[in-house]
Amino acid sequence: MRTNLKSRRPKTRLRRLKIKKKAVASLEAELLRRVRADEGLSRVDLARQLHLAPSTAGAYVDRLIAEGFLSERQKAERDFGRPPTLLALNPEGGRFIGVDFEAHNIMATVVDFSQRPMREVHKVIKPGDSVEQIIGKIERAIEELINDHSREVLGIGVGVPGIIDPKNQVALHYAHIPGWDNIPLGERLARRFKVDVYLENNIRSMALAELWFGQGRGLDDFVCLGIRTGIGAGVVVQRKVLHGKNNLAGEIGGWLCPVAPIGQRGRNGGNVWNCDTLKPLEEIASVPAIMQAILQRQKRSGNNAVPQGQEEFLLEDIARAAEARDPHVCEVLENVAETLGWVICQIDAMFNPQKIILAGPLVMLGESLLGPVKKCVRQYGSEFRDQIPVVDSDLGRFNGALGAAALALHEWKPKR
């Protein structure tokens, strides 16, 4: 019996040591997150925030400085007392890669340890590409970013379209890529690149980018409405992205919405809603749906203000035509704005956020779309609620990739 007890003691000590190391790594990761959120913190501030003794906090800080993750700088002189020494992230501490993709494009970026973007890569997904070819393009985009610099890559974040299982790192389903079902993408990328990989829904990645870098910075509650090949909502509540029981929160692309027929105006100037005809939101307001509506309208009228071509050029042409007040393009955008305004009012009624942020390629349309959307929100919004601010994202086309990189950076923990 004594022998058995003795044999168990080393295992028990080893288990306790692993638990302690895990706890230390988690605490140091939280310390780094605090500095990342506010690079005006001193050691004393950190000790107070983390409820640690100053000497304990100082020991952690010293180790992170020695390992190259933190640096210190002297605050400007003040009239009395010794100026505090402030902590800052060391850009040389490592790199994080973020990938964001949907049915047509792969966007990838790399950021340094202080979250500053270093380089971006764009790859096109062709209509005939297989699942394996798409994954191959993702891997090549990551390779390009890894090989661009000698600094160590510490983690990879991937914004995946459709439904995912973030716990098991599996992409479950995406309707717009044939065969995209139950793909163990996280495991494959982790095995290939020998670093931790973090999967998130791509619209939630866009919301994370807004939270840390963009229009949502400093807010507790907001919704990022991502409009691309599909449509989804990244819901942020108390600075955390809402996932839901089965990671389906924000999957609003299938919402049935009333259709506002073009050209049928009511007495107040707004569209006449046809509630007998309901269509999924993605069939009304997604990028492909808008392009199709404009091209069909032009075909009937014989107007070719927007030539047929690649998606990118179509959007640029649509933006130019809208700015020139082409009547057919403006009618389609006003029709889409009616639906988006209605959807935004439903989101406001459900979550009452501080702000709703429109993100995705349609942002390049600017006030041509945003203006009518705001007008419709004012028209359909409840008189008992404050007017919700609706804004365009200002992070550009790589906002989802930036959010994915930041996800990896925030989830990463020092090895202990």
The CATH number assigned to the domain holding 25 equals 1.10.10.10
Q: Answer with the one of 39, 55, 89 that is the final residue of a domain.
A: 89
Do 210 and 240 lie in one domain? The reply is no
Is 267 contained in some domain? yes
- Which residue shows structure tokens 């927007």? 306
Q: Answer with the one of 30, 57, 89 that is the final residue of a domain.
A: 89
**Angle at CA of residue 33, ends 202 and 37, nearest 5°:** 85
- Contact indicator for 211, 236 with CB cutoff of 8 Å: yes
Q: DSSP character for 210?
A: H
Q: How far is CA 360 from CA 55, 208, 292, 325, 376, in A?
A: 47, 14, 18, 22, 20
Do 192 and 334 lie in one domain? The reply is no
Do 264 and 376 lie in one domain? The reply is yes
Domain that includes residue 133, residue range: 94-214+400-411
Is 301 contained in some domain? yes
Percent of residues in the chain assigned helix, strand, coil, to nearest 5: 45, 25, 35
Q: How far is CA 53 from CA 14, 49, 297, 405, in A?
A: 27, 11, 69, 33
Do 298 and 254 lie in one domain? The reply is yes
Is 219 contained in some domain? no
- Contact indicator for 142, 193 with CB cutoff of 8 Å: yes
Q: What CATH number is attached to the domain comprising 131?
A: 3.30.420.40
> Residue 108: helix, strand or coil by DSSP?
strand
Do 130 and 85 lie in one domain? The reply is no
Q: What integer pLDDT is reported at residue 4 of this predicted model?
A: 61
> Residue 100: helix, strand or coil by DSSP?
strand
Q: What integer pLDDT is reported at residue 119 of this predicted model?
A: 95
- Contact indicator for 95, 153 with CB cutoff of 8 Å: yes
Q: What integer pLDDT is reported at residue 267 of this predicted model?
A: 41
Q: What integer pLDDT is reported at residue 39 of this predicted model?
A: 74
Is 416 contained in some domain? no
- Whole-model pTM? 0.84
Q: What integer pLDDT is reported at residue 387 of this predicted model?
A: 80
Do 10 and 120 lie in one domain? The reply is no
Do 207 and 324 lie in one domain? The reply is no
Instruction: Please give the torsion angle defined by the CA atoms of residues 95, 101, 107 and 108, in that order, rounded to the nearest 10 degrees.
Output: 10
Do 347 and 236 lie in one domain? The reply is yes
Do 49 and 138 lie in one domain? The reply is no
> Running along the chain, 416 residues long, what does each successive block of 10 average in pLDDT?
59 79 92 86 93 94 96 66 80 96 95 93 95 98 94 96 93 95 97 96 94 92 96 95 92 88 47 69 94 83 60 74 89 93 93 96 94 90 77 94 93 90
Q: What integer pLDDT is reported at residue 359 of this predicted model?
A: 96
Q: Answer with the one of 48, 72, 89 that is the final residue of a domain.
A: 89
**E-strand stretches of 231-288:** 231-237, 240-241, 256-259, 274-280
Do 192 and 250 lie in one domain? The reply is no
Number of domains in the chain: 3
Do 66 and 105 lie in one domain? The reply is no
Which residues sit opposite 265 in a β-bridge? 271
